[in-house]
Amino acid sequence: MTAITSPTPTDTVVRRARIGTAGAVLWTLSSGVWGASDLEDQPYGTLTFAAVAVAWWICMVAAPLLLLAGHSALRAVLAPVTGRLGRAGIVTSAAGLTGMSLGIGIEIASMSAGGGEVPLGHVILLAGFLVAIVGGVLTGITVIRRLTDPAARAAGWVLVLALPLGIGLGLLGSVLAPQNDAVFWAVLTLPTGIAWVLLGRSLAAEHRTAATR
C-alpha cells in the first residue's frame, strides 16, 4: 500500500472533510425529510410550508454542494497517488452531484413559488445521478486501493456498489411504502450519503491526528 502525504495543509483538509461530512449527513437524511414532510402536501403560504421548503432546500440542494468540499479534501489527500482514473472519478462524481443539486433545485424553486414539478429539473436530476454513479464507482475503487483506514475502505465499497444498493432499497421500499415518493429519493441519495459520512469522518480524523503529532 502506498503511503500518502497530503500536499494540502492539514487543517484545510480537516475543514473540508468536516464540511463534506455535514453535507453527507444532510444528504443521508434527505429522504427521511421528504417522507416526513412532502412539500406538495403543505398548504401554500403557511408557516408549515415555509419550514418544509427550508428543510428541502438545505437537505436536497445545499447538501450535495457541501459534499463537494469532501471531494476536494479527498483529492488533496490522494493527490500524490490518485492517477488519471482516480482524478477523473472524483471530478465526475462532483459534477454529477452538482447536476443533482441543480435539477432538484429547479423543482423545489418551482414548488416554493406555488408551482409543480418541472420536467427539465427532473431530467437534469437523473442525468446528474447517472454521472455521479459513474464517478462514484471510479472514486470508490481509488479509495479502496489507496486508503488503509477500515471506514474509508468501507466507504469505497459502498460507492462502488451504490447502484445495486439503491436498487435494493427501491425494491424494499416498493413493498413497505409503495405510494411514498421518498423511496425514489432514497434510491438516489442514501448509499452515496452513507459512503461520504464514513469517508469524510475518516479523512477528518486521520488529518486531525496528524496535526497533533
Tell me the average pLDDT across 120-129. 96
pLDDT over 50 (residue 4): no
Instruction: Give the distance, in angstroms, between the CA of residue 51 and the centroid of all CA atoms in the same chain.
Output: 23
Q: Are 8 and 75 in contact (CB under 8 A)?
A: no
Tell me the average pLDDT across 152-169. 95
Buried b (16+ CB within 10 A) or exposed e, 59-96: bbbbbbbbbbbbbbbbbbbbeebbeeebbbbbebbbbb
pLDDT over 70 (residue 171): yes
**Structure confidence by residue, pLDDT tens digits, 69-102:** 999 999 998 887 778 888 999 999 999 999 999 9
Q: Is the backbone of residue 8 left (phi > 0), alpha (psi -120 to 50) or beta?
A: beta
Note the pTM of the prediction, 2 decimals. 0.88
Question: If we measure between CA atoms, which residue out of 180, 186, 182 comes closest to residue 166?
Answer: 186
Q: Is the backbone of residue 133 left (phi > 0), alpha (psi -120 to 50) or beta?
A: alpha
pLDDT over 70 (residue 7): no
pLDDT over 50 (residue 180): yes
pLDDT for the residue numbered 177: 75
Q: Could you tell me the pLDDT band of residue 5, with boundaries at 50, 70 and 90?
A: very low
Unique residue bearing C-alpha cell 445521478: 129
pLDDT for the residue numbered 210: 41
pLDDT over 50 (residue 213): no
State what percent of residues in the chain have pLDDT above 70. 92
pLDDT for the residue numbered 136: 96
Tell me the average pLDDT across 24-30. 97
Identify the weakest region by mean pLDDT among 127-131, 143-147, 172-176. Answer: 172-176
pLDDT for the residue numbered 201: 93
Three-class DSSP category at 159: helix
